[in-house]
Structure 1
């Protein structure tokens, strides 16, 4: 190739090599340009043993014969910064002549340009990767703080798994025994048997995690520090503490399948930053839920006070007025009408008191005590009936009804309500009464289906 033409082609090759942002494409252009400019019949990139798969197997021209010794080979290293990404190898020049110093200089120019291009491509890839992790962390924070998710830990595990390209996203939390247990997992390819796996107390990994240090594992199946029963399923893994404001919430684990590529230093850094931001979002979301619960409690207390101070007093005063009217002489039909009105007011007062009791129960806690347990059964029936049964309590139910009496009472109540649910097409009202006056507790369940049905149950206190 003439010098002028060769220089022109060299400049074109330099521009071509530097045009891409994909490292493999850049190296393919490098190998092809080197073969063309030097007349090499065979050109390849000899990648180091630890090179990523996308930088191996790059060649141009015909492959050399197995066992052949190429004549007059020429080798030039390709460096991206301080890292040697491979060695450009040329052999078997088509005209049979040895490679010249000019050929080597051409090769070095191409290798230097390729190194710059690869460095730029990696910086670009790192920037895009960082942007993905930041966007993912922002999405998790938004979801947690705006209440758009019911399970905060699963949200963190799922998003981290997708960002890291892991086979599973796992959250572990400390146990009372001093170990750590997997409490939630996002593992669409292998969902069985992961939740509930435990890192036993005393594990070296556990000591690092409880101390707030990340742990990076090359192969979970063979690393002696890994002790969970599911470790054999995974290879490279990151275990990152979820720690914020001095509080250790748990650990985010991101294992890959055995044989998958290891995590890079950039991926480890970005995942660690994600875990820190997710932990802070979890703490803030928990505080937000606490404030919301407090607001609910305060509002319920206000409603309960209003109901008791205003509604109950007015109902009670009206009932007293009607009772005094009953004592006056008058027509029997008026007396019957007033009697029914007084009974209805008494029933209403009981229902209002029941509503006040329900308002005072913490919304996130399971119902406690006989009243709460009975109300839970009626609420379950309400979801099936389409309306809430009217529930009344008479006497000190929570004080005098023991657990031994409560369980058969609840069994009788469930059976009665189940029978009502089976006839729900013809039922428009259900009344549940629990009377704990005297030496016995009495349960009565009435409905207006058909000709009306009444179920009674009684037990001594």
Structure 2
């Protein structure tokens, strides 16, 4: 790439590395846009991702304040020069945008644009967006070198947009699979119990007036079956797949899970989160799965009235603690929980972390997981 000097290449490299630290597509596109405006020395920059209705699914601007952006009004439509860049793969470089035959107008609060450089964002032959800059801060307008730089950043924007599409499709597929799994589990585990519960209730109603002892026995069966159905439904909720940890982050995802289970079970689940750094995908999922298993055990076995969940950073590690005030159990000898404890320990080991479970009866149980931030 002739024409781009060493300093510019270093700046582009820094911009690309900055892009890699973001996970949401909007953050990625924002970083690209800010880098573009700075690298080519423009007063204004914008980036748009079109929708299928003649507008933009995403439209970001850089160089205007929030107040200016609000005064400008609604996001633009795919008209004028914006429409050109969405239908022609060739860049557009102008000394004055107002001289272009497709120039139309802008709102009264819109800044006045003069020199202009726009580049389509392409994935193969498909145009997936556009990025443009305006009003060069140095004399002479935008150059061929500026065009090369903008094209380079447009290529990275294309990767971000395509990856976001693939992620969204994968998420939708995962949701469909999860709904299918839950439906299957509810059918297999709950439907038969509900049928038995209905028969027991009808039998109790029939016997109520002529055999009170047998009616009472049937009502005991109704209570037992209802409790089993309740447990199966709760297990289905606890077994839900992790949310979008990449988008939500551990703090938000754990908070949402605690809030959900609080509503479902009616137990006082208190979450104290913190601003924890991002971990690898494997480590974040391990923390979330250990949380689920610890909550499941506390809710199903401990007869707890209060469960406290803490997430924090300590000595270069992210620490998760789940503590309950329940009945406690024998950590080494409890058959009911051994499989869950084994699973938690395996997850901790695979994530390079450490798991410690302490329990007293009475007194309650604490599950503590530490996973390293780096390494």
TM-score (norm 1): 0.41
Larger radius of gyration: 1
**Which TM-score applies when normalising by structure 2?**
0.49
